Amino acid sequence: MSADATPLRGSVAGWFAPVVPEARVAVLRSVLYVFVLLDLHLLVRDPIPLSHHPDLYRPLLLARVLHLPPPSLPLAWTLYAVLVVGCLVGASGRAPRLVGWVVAAAFTWWVAIGFSYGKVDHDHLALVVALWVLPTVGAVPGGWSATRRSAQAGWALRCVQVAVVATYFLSALAKIRSGGWTLTSWPESYILTWAIVRRPHGLGQLLLPYPGVLRVMQWFSILAELSSVVVLWLRGRALLAAALFWMGFHVFTVALLYIHFAPTVVCWLAFAPLERLVPWWRARHPPLEPPVPVPSRATRDLARREG
Amino acid sequence: MRPVSRGSLVWRVLAAVALVVLLVNGSLRMEDDAWPFGPMSQYAFSPPEDDTVVITRVDGLLTDGRRVELPLRVETAGISRAEIEARIPAIEADPSLLRAVSDGWVARNPTSPRPVELFLVQDETRLHRGQPTSTSKVTLAQWRVVP
């Protein structure tokens, strides 16, 4: 191995690959593999039923470039089986590179099939990026309680963070682009009214008679999305406040339109000091003390009574 | 601390820069087709205050004479509304594509009467100054189920 080139804090390389505890990667990997298991059954759960309808399939660019075969029931079931086994092994932390890339490829393919029937969702970007970059860290000795730190771990987490922030910032960019590159056309439109009419839901229906309020909310959300980039440079309490703000944002969109961004939300953990999880748990659940030795007189009494 | 070689650091920085470039390029120039490097285009358009909001549905005329909605969800029809909406022009040109809905619905509702005819319909809600006013139903395509 060549000499250590660990980047300095403050340098460009140090921003892309900060030195952080590897336990963060170990915890995040386990959480995300469990999340993918849920995702298969709750979110992108249609590749198997959609495989019955080859006449509705319109492959994404990715599938055309890689010459992926069109979906079929055997293919969809194989991907499903690979993902279930891969995620279970991956969550346990075994063979992180091999298992990690198999899961990354299988999940990307699975989601691409789900998105090849006309509807593309944008909540899976950070999760897909995370599944591809986290295996690069390789084995983390000690797993969740690892004490080693590395730039390799920092880079993987930074990529996930960038993908999370890109999900917000670039959605603002797409809105500005759709309005002919004007900032005002989207927030001044009736997009929330349109969305609520199509997805009538609790809070949304209450707010439908107040287009002015909805417009204020549109301005608020596009400005929040545009300023989301700042999150990449926040630390400590400011970062916590930003994370809580965005969690609140997602709770609100669920209440308004029943649209959640769960795959993006779970990737916010890439910002969290996950290495504190195990010490925190251990402090609250101390290992049991060795049992008090039973005095020999007591065992003699017991033997006499039972005899 | 785990050491990192210069080469390993260089490819990482380049890969991260490439990720950012691909994502920004997607938002500036590409369409949904380029996923995962396409634009974040959900809800990225600007309906005017007098827009017409459409909701696409599929109705089925059952063997017992009832006309009911066959809800477009994965768990009820094996396909969701968004997928049918994305293929409206294709379905109008070839209504037999509605077979996806009848097959999916029959497979998930084996004890219900079967649909004999399917209708692709849209509820059109007109907005006036940003307020929903009237709603009407338009039939876009219909198809007699061929067993």
Contact A162/B20, CB-based, under 8 Å? yes
Instruction: Check whether residue B34 and residue B99 sit in a common domain.
Output: no
- ipTM of model: 0.90
Which of A290-299, B82-91, B106-115 bottoms out in mean pLDDT, i.e. has the lowest?
A290-299
Residue B69 shares a structural domain with residue B107: yes
Q: Are residues B21 and B37 in the same domain?
A: yes
Please count the structural domains in chain B.
2
* B41 and B66 housed in the same domain: no
Final residue belonging to a domain, choices B25, B45, B65: B45
pLDDT of residue B23: 96
Q: CB count, 10 Å around CB of A266? A: 21
pLDDT at A78 (0 to 100) = 97
| Min Cα–Cα distance to chain B from A157, Å | 11
* Both structure tokens of B85: 């909406």
Whats the size of chain B, residue-wise? 147
Tell me, yes or no, whether B73 and B29 share the same domain: no
Chains A and B: how many Cβ contacts under 8 Å? 210
- pLDDT tens-digit series, residues A135-145: 999 999 999 99
State yes or no: pLDDT of A228 exceeds 70.
yes
Mean of pLDDT values over A193-216: 91
The tally of domains found in chain A comes to 1
The whole-number pLDDT of residue A224 equals 97
The bridge status of strand A149-150 relative to strand B52-62 is unpaired
Whether B4 and B58 share a structural domain: no
The verdict on B63 and B128 lying in the same domain is: yes
Q: Contacts of residue B20 in chain A, CB cutoff 8 Å?
A: 162, 166
pLDDT greater at residue B67 or residue A305: B67
- Residue B40 and residue B8 share a domain: yes
Confidence band for A265, pLDDT divided at 50, 70 and 90:
very high
For residues A182-203, average pLDDT:
92
Q: Is residue A234 helix, strand or coil?
A: coil
DSSP assignment of chain B, as one string?
Answer: -----HHHHHHHHHHHHHHHHHHHHHHHH--GGGTTSS---TT-S---TT-EEEEEEEEEEETTS-EEE---SHHHHSS-HHHHHHTHHHHHH-GGGGHHHHHHHHHH-TTSPPEEEEEEEEEEEEEETTEEEEEEEEEEEEEEPP-
The contacts of residue A283 (CB under 8 Å, 6+ apart) are: none
**Is B64 found in the same domain as B88?**
yes
> Of A76-85, A125-134, A242-251, B134-143, which range is least confident?
B134-143
| A272 pLDDT more than 70 | yes
pLDDT of residue B116: 94
Number of helices (H), then strands (E), in chain A? 15, 2
Do B104 and B36 lie in a common domain?
A: no
Q: What does pLDDT average to over chain A?
A: 92
Say if residue A71's pLDDT is above 70. Answer: yes
Instruction: State whether B2 and A159 contact (CB < 8 Å).
Output: no
Q: Mean pLDDT over residues B81-96, rounded?
A: 92
pLDDT of A296 strictly over 90: no
Question: Whole domain around residue A244: which residue ranges?
Answer: 12-279
What mean pLDDT is predicted for residues B119-132? 92
The nearest CA of chain B is from the CA of A169 a distance in Å of 9
Which residue range is the domain that position B18 belongs to?
1-45
Question: From the list A52, A118, A208, which residue is nearest B103 (CB)?
Answer: A52
Are residues B134 and B89 part of one domain? Answer: yes
Give the closest of B43, B46, B79 to A49, CB-based.
B79
Which residue of chain B has the CA closest to A149? Answer: B1
Q: Which residues of B touch A167 (CB under 8 A)?
A: 40
Q: Could you tell me what percent of chain B has a pLDDT over 90?
A: 73
- The predicted structure's pLDDT at residue B119: 96
pLDDT digits (tens, 9 = 90+) for B28-37: 999 999 999 9
Q: How far is A247 from chain B (nearest CA, A)?
A: 19
* Residue A1 pLDDT: 45
Tell whether B21 and B82 lie within a shared domain.
Answer: no
| Percentage above 70 pLDDT, chain A | 93
Mean pLDDT of chain B: 92
- The mean pLDDT value for A5-18 works out to 89
What pLDDT is recorded for position A219? 97
